[in-house]
Amino acid sequence: MKVFGVDFTSRPRKAKPITCAECRFDGQVLTLTSIDSFANFTAFETWLGSPGPWIAGLDFPFGQPCKLIQNLGWPSTWSDYMALIATMPREAFVQLLEDYKQDRAVGDKEHLRETDRLAKSASPQKLYNPPVGKMFYEGAKRLYRSSLNIEPLRPTNDNRTVIEVYPAFFIRRYIGRTPYKSDSRAKQTQEKQTARIELIQALQAKAFQPEYGFSIALSSELRDRLVEDVAGDELDAFICAIEAAWSWNRRNENLGIPQNVDPAEGWIVSQGLQS
């Protein structure tokens, strides 16, 4: 089975591309085979259209909080409210979110989905630091325009499945909040590189297999590449693939997604995240 992990950005370019880790998975061993990058959305869309079967974990919010959906009077299903968003220019969507929070009380400007509360992730409305609202806009509308099986928001019979993942939630379980990546090589430190090494060692340790149900296989070349990637995007992409592999092993158990999830909001899929 092909398994992908994607570290996303709302403005892909050569200096900061969308990063995609491709793996081979037999249910027992997840093997990282290659790492690719997409410097523009056209390349990303081409990858989305690649033939299956495969499963991919993507690092951006697929849905918006129900409170926002209700307050804006949007349709209650993901496909219907995405039909509206997909017609908006990026600037109009950003302005919509800015206008929404303008006169709201502090603490009630940017809402959380239930999965965000549990994973301690940022609101999908957040536009800056990190700009996950813009990531949602650019990523979710492209998923909406595809025929992909988007779990749990728009299930289809397509043999290509995408799930939302959040590598920071995974990483905190192994190295806490220790910084492991930098925006630029100039900000690289030995401590951050050491944190990346510790994280990779945790993935390859014997204790990992009982927890996730499979082991990790890395060539020395790709392991060194993950260690040397100052931005941490390649490591994040690989972690997205690990979560996707865990989900695939639970394809007969709703992909590891709790049954009571609101399908309009979506869900961050992870071994350690339960409702």
For residue 117, is it left (φ>0), alpha (ψ between -120 and 50) or beta? alpha
- φ and ψ at residue 81, rounded to 5 degrees: -75, -25
Mean pLDDT of the residues in the chain:
95
- Range with the lowest mean pLDDT among 177-186, 235-244, 264-273? 177-186
User: Looking at residue 154, what is its pLDDT?
Assistant: 98
pLDDT tens for each residue of 121-145 = 999 999 999 999 999 999 999 999 9
Q: Please give the backbone phi and psi of residue 164, each rounded to the nearest 5 degrees, phi first.
A: -85, 130
Summarised one tens digit per residue, pLDDT across range 181-206 is 987 655 668 899 999 999 999 999 98
Strand-pair partners of 18: 38
Q: Give first-to-last CA distance, the chain, whole Å.
A: 28
Between 188 and 56, name the one with better pLDDT: 56
pLDDT on residue 185? 56
Cβ pair 234, 21 in contact under 8 A: yes
Note if the pTM is more than 0.85: yes
pLDDT of residue 207: 87
pLDDT for 238 equals 98
Residues above pLDDT 90, as percent of the chain: 94
Crossing angle, helix 41-48 and helix 132-144, to 10 degrees? 40
Dihedral angle computed from the Cα positions of residues 198, 2, 155 and 134, in that order, rounded to the nearest 10 degrees: 50
**Domain boundaries in the chain?**
2-61+161-248, 66-147
